[in-house]
Every structure is written in C-alpha cells, then in structure tokens.
Amino acid sequence: MSKKKLVFSGVQPTGNLHLGNYLGALKNFVSLQNEMECIYCVVDLHAITTFQKPDELQNNVLETVASFLATGLDPNKSIIFNQSSVSGHTELAWILNCVSRIGWLNRMTQFKDKAGSDKEKASVGLYIYPNLMAADILLYKATHVPVGADQKQHLELSRDIAQKFNNDFNCKDFFPIPEPLIPKNVSRVMSLRDGTKKMSKSEESDFSRINLKDSADEIIKKIKKAKSDSEPIPENLKNLEKKPEALNLLNIYSEVTKKSLETVLNEVSGKEYSFLKTKLSEILIGEIEPIGKEIKKLLNNKDHLKQILKKGREKANNIAEENLKNIREKVGLL
C-alpha cells in the first residue's frame, strides 16, 4: 500500500460561506497545504441534491473558489477544482452504491435533518449523498479528510465503505481507511440565534450566521443581536452547560484569539455579555473583513477563477483516471 499522505475535502456551493465553514474547515485546509498533498473540491453535485437555480449555482461555484483563495489556499500548492468536471466521482459513486448498505444510509442523521418530516419528497440524491462523499474521497485514495464535526458520521460511513470494498474484492489495503481531521475546539460553530443548531448557509435568517463577505457593520449588528443571557458571564465551564448560545460566543472568541476557553473565561467572567460581544466583534472584523474584501476583488475576474478550476480539473482527473483503472479491474469491469 502507498504510504503517501493525501488530503481531500469538499465544500458545497450552496451560498455564502460563513464563519462555521471557515473555522470548521477552510482554516484547516490552508494549514494542511503546507504539510501534505491536498485536493480541495467545490462539490457541485452534492449541492444539487436540493434544488439550486442553475445561474445561481454557477455563481456560487466561482464564489466558493474565490473564498478558497481569499482564505489562503494557493492553487500552486493545492489542487482546486469542481466535482462535476471529473466524471470519475459519479462512476465510483455508482460502484460504491453497490457496496454500501441501505441500513448504513438509514442511520445518517443529516438526511433526517435535511429531509424534514416528509422524507418521501426528498430527492434520492440527498439520501445517497454519503456514498458520493465516499467516492469523492476514495477516488483519490485520500488518507486524511479535514471536516467540521457535522460530517463525522458521513466520514465514518466512508471508512466502512472502504473497508467493505477491500474485503469484498479481496484487496486488503487497496483503499486507505481515511482519517477525519476535525478541529478540537470549535468543531461545530453554532447558529447565533439558536445555540443548539449548527451555523448553516441554508438557515433562513441571515442573523444566524457571520458570512465571510459581511461588512464590519454587519458583523457588529449580528453579534449585538446574537442570543446570549441576561445574567453575567459565569465563572466556570460547568455553569455554561445549559447556555449553548453563550458557550458558542465564547468558543468562537477562544478559537479566533487562539486562547483557551479557560483563559477567555478568566478575562470575561462576571461581566455583562455586551462586554464580550464588543471584543468579539472587534476580533471578527479583524479576521473576516479582509477575507470578504478579497472575495469581492477576486469575483471581479471570473475568467481567472475559471482558469484555476480548469487547471485543477486536469490534475485531479489524471489521478482519478489512474485510480479508476485499478478500481474497474478489481470489480471485474471490462
């Protein structure tokens, strides 16, 4: 088995990227590109598992690439491309649909959340989405997958599928069993309106999230309106357990300032939440505003973004085709 470390991860072009995508995934992507070979994919085929307006989808793909670059991804170090441009993703997804088990998919909590109460009306694509995710990763024989905690269950399924393929086709170690790389502190950034729900692009209220393109004024307004608590900030973590919104604000502050939660609590305990919110707005403006400005600048040259995707597609496709040849052979396809 090749011992080469290879990182793969994807982001759906389903709208504005937000602080959760940034702290949960993109920041990690950037630091990994200096350590390992990295492939980062705009997963447009995942996006269409729920209806996307075609012209909006195209724009969102380019905006996601702009966000990748603005947060520090370098196309000379990392392969950046869009999923639908490499047909191996769907070919391998089909093969893996035949390896994966219905019982496994039935356990996926994200399908239950996204399909809502009327599952009969959800697309078949939404249901088998985790098999496509497994194909994305295994197509490149990726060994490491940086994701937010919300993707942990899907990644475990990818590991089960890789294992079953290796067993079924008697090819021990053919697919590496991919390791999740989940940030320790803020693996799940929560909504600013409801601390029990993750921050998400598809949440209706824009006040639930900080978008990477938000202006300083918008950041200040959203943090000011963020749900917190009428009592002063408690002194210890135990007392924060029943205050998910407050804990979320403290976690974000701790992550962006790179201070431990305990240190942050020492700084702010006993104070009103408005004190924390002012400090949090300041550090978020420092971190997010330059990224937003860069995204807007990059979007002025869409041809440049398309060129990056084209070059990335060629590199990704070469790896994919080579691996697919061996995969077809293992399965017995002529």
List residues with catalytic annotation: 114, 198, 201
User: Per rule CB under 6 A, is residue 130 in the interface with ligand AQP?
Assistant: no
Nearest-CB residue to ligand AQP? Answer: 24
Long-range contacts of 257-260 (CB under 8 A, 24+ apart): 257/283
Dihedral sign, Cα of residue 168, residue 169, residue 172, residue 175:
negative
User: Per rule CB under 6 A, is residue 281 in the interface with ligand AQP?
Assistant: no
**Two tokens at 44?**
């447009």
Name the one range near ligand AQP by CB under 6 A: 144-152, 257-265, 283-291, 324-332. Answer: 144-152
**Two tokens at 236?**
């210890």
Q: Which of 20, 176, 178, 292 binds ligand AQP (CB under 6 A)?
A: 20
User: Per rule CB under 6 A, is residue 202 in the interface with ligand AQP?
Assistant: yes
Name the one range near ligand AQP by CB under 6 A: 21-29, 69-77, 80-88, 303-311. Answer: 21-29
Which is closer to ligand AQP, CB of 12 or CB of 71?
A: 12
* Smallest gap from residue 231 Cβ to ligand AQP (A): 26
Name the one range near ligand AQP by CB under 6 A: 14-22, 67-75, 267-275, 286-294. Answer: 14-22
Which is closer to ligand AQP, CB of 49 or CB of 166?
A: 49
Name the one range near ligand AQP by CB under 6 A: 156-164, 193-201, 249-257, 324-332. Answer: 193-201
Q: Note whether 86 and 320 are within 8 A (CB).
A: yes
Q: Note whether 315 and 133 are within 8 A (CB).
A: no
Q: Note whether 133 and 152 are within 8 A (CB).
A: no
* Beta-strand pair 37-42/179-181: unpaired
| Alpha carbons 70 and 46: distance in angstroms, whole number | 23
User: Per rule CB under 6 A, is residue 198 in the interface with ligand AQP?
Assistant: yes
38, β-bridge pairs: 7, 78
* Smallest gap from residue 333 Cβ to ligand AQP (A): 30
User: Per rule CB under 6 A, is residue 188 in the interface with ligand AQP?
Assistant: yes
Closest-CA residue to 11 (of 32, 26, 23): 26
Which is closer to ligand AQP, CB of 185 or CB of 318?
A: 185
User: Per rule CB under 6 A, is residue 25 in the interface with ligand AQP?
Assistant: yes
Q: What is the CA radius of gyration of the chain?
A: 21
**Two tokens at 122?**
């959800």
CA-to-CA dists, residue 239 to 192, 235, 265, 320, angstroms: 19, 7, 11, 50
Which is closer to ligand AQP, CB of 156 or CB of 272?
A: 156
Q: Which of 8, 12, 161, 281 binds ligand AQP (CB under 6 A)?
A: 12
User: Per rule CB under 6 A, is residue 288 in the interface with ligand AQP?
Assistant: no
Tell me which H or E stretch contains 251.
Answer: helix 244-257
User: Per rule CB under 6 A, is residue 148 in the interface with ligand AQP?
Assistant: yes
| Alpha carbons 49 and 9: distance in angstroms, whole number | 18
Q: Which of 65, 128, 147, 252 binds ligand AQP (CB under 6 A)?
A: 147
User: Per rule CB under 6 A, is residue 21 in the interface with ligand AQP?
Assistant: yes
CA-to-CA dists, residue 309 to 78, 147, 195, 203, angstroms: 11, 21, 36, 28
The footprint of ligand AQP (CB under 6 A) covers: 11-12, 14, 20-21, 24-25, 147-148, 150-151, 188-189, 198-202
